[in-house]
Amino acid sequence: MSTHIIAIANQKGGVGKTTTAVNLAAALALKKKKVLLVDLDPQGNATTGSGINKSDIQTGVYQVLLGNCDIQAAKLFSKTGRYDVLPANRELAGAEVELVQEIARETRLKNALSAVKKDYDFVLIDCPPTLTLLTLNGLVAAKDILVPMTCEYYALEGISDLIATVRKVRQVINPKLDFIGVVRTQYSNKSLLSQEVSKQLHEHFGKKLFNTIIPRNVRLAEAPSFGQSAIHYDPKAKGSIAYLELANELLACYRNEKKGE
Ligand code: ATP
Ligand code: MG
């Protein structure tokens, strides 16, 4: 199996990018896949959510982007999730400014990944809620984009900016970049609005919408404070089961792709 490099992106904040990244990484690891989770967000939530203490990080994605360190040296192992993490800490916020002056600034992550991607089945990139240079590095390094969306009124608002950015990235630098799919998150089956927006997303995205819906589930919100994915923290929780299903659906997508469907 070749390496699937997936950017988890949506410039809208709080839609479940990090929750999806951490739980999908843990779910894929549980299915015996070798996974690298790249934390491209200066908030470092994917790092702490994987059980890694930000103050323990000597070198991380910041040093990698600036070319001061390679991924092999910077990666850490999530003992809870059983996957590798290229961690972030607050220094990463400065990378935006420092990278602007560098050459090949959009391809830094892609170049760094080329040396290690053979070691992994999946590389998941947790992007920040912006469309700036860090996310651009994610979109240039990735083959596929997975977009988490909440089922609320403004769900589709702003997605056109992401689509426009993806179009530009395709034209200029990464022609094979593709949407693997949109995943509905924080869904409440008691809410009529959730149901209505979910239907709209179905009409809008058709086959590109994952069948699996991630419910609003308190276990998913609690798990990061224990440095764990929900799948590890409470495997029987509805949210954990949904992320395991999402991992199955993702694997099936790639199997079908291989068959040329
Ligand atoms: P940001 O844009 O800030 O990076 P994000 O898109 O990565 O945010 P998350 O951090 O994953 O979003 O989620 C935002 C908040 O909602 C977090 O507190 C998280 O624990 C909670 N959350 C995410 N998904 C769910 C869910 N399905 N059910 C309940 N809470 C959730
Ligand atoms: Mg996040």
180 lines ligand 1 (CB under 6 A): no
The pLDDT assigned to 156 comes to: 79
The pLDDT assigned to 189 comes to: 85
212 lines ligand 1 (CB under 6 A): no
The pLDDT assigned to 259 comes to: 61
CA of 232 to the centre of ligand 1 (A): 17
Smallest CA-to-CA distance from 85 within 114, 106, 116, 111 is with 116
The pLDDT assigned to 258 comes to: 65
Tokens of 150: 């909440």
The pLDDT assigned to 233 comes to: 97
11 lines ligand 1 (CB under 6 A): no
The pLDDT assigned to 131 comes to: 87
CATH number for the region 4-259 comes to 3.40.50.300
Q: What residues does each domain of the chain span? A: 4-259
pLDDT in tens, the chain (261 residues): 689 999 999 999 999 999 999 999 999 999 999 999 999 999 999 999 999 998 889 899 999 999 999 999 999 999 999 999 999 988 898 888 888 888 889 999 999 999 999 999 999 999 999 988 999 999 999 999 999 999 887 777 778 888 999 999 999 999 999 999 999 999 998 888 888 889 888 988 999 999 999 999 999 999 999 999 999 999 999 999 999 999 999 999 998 886 654
29 lines ligand 1 (CB under 6 A): no
The pLDDT assigned to 141 comes to: 97
Report the predicted TM-score, pTM, of the whole model to 2 decimal places: 0.96
C-alpha span between 99 and 250 (Å, rounded): 33
Name 147's bridge partners: 182
C-alpha span between 238 and 67 (Å, rounded): 41
Pocket test for ligand 1, best of 10, 11, 18, 198 (most atoms within 8 A of CB): 18
For the sheet containing 209-215, what is the strand order? Answer: 76-78, 83-86, 35-39, 122-126, 4-8, 144-150, 178-187, 209-215
The pLDDT assigned to 146 comes to: 97
CA of 45 to the centre of ligand 1 (A): 10
The pLDDT assigned to 260 comes to: 54
**φ, ψ dihedrals at 199, nearest 5°:** -65, -45
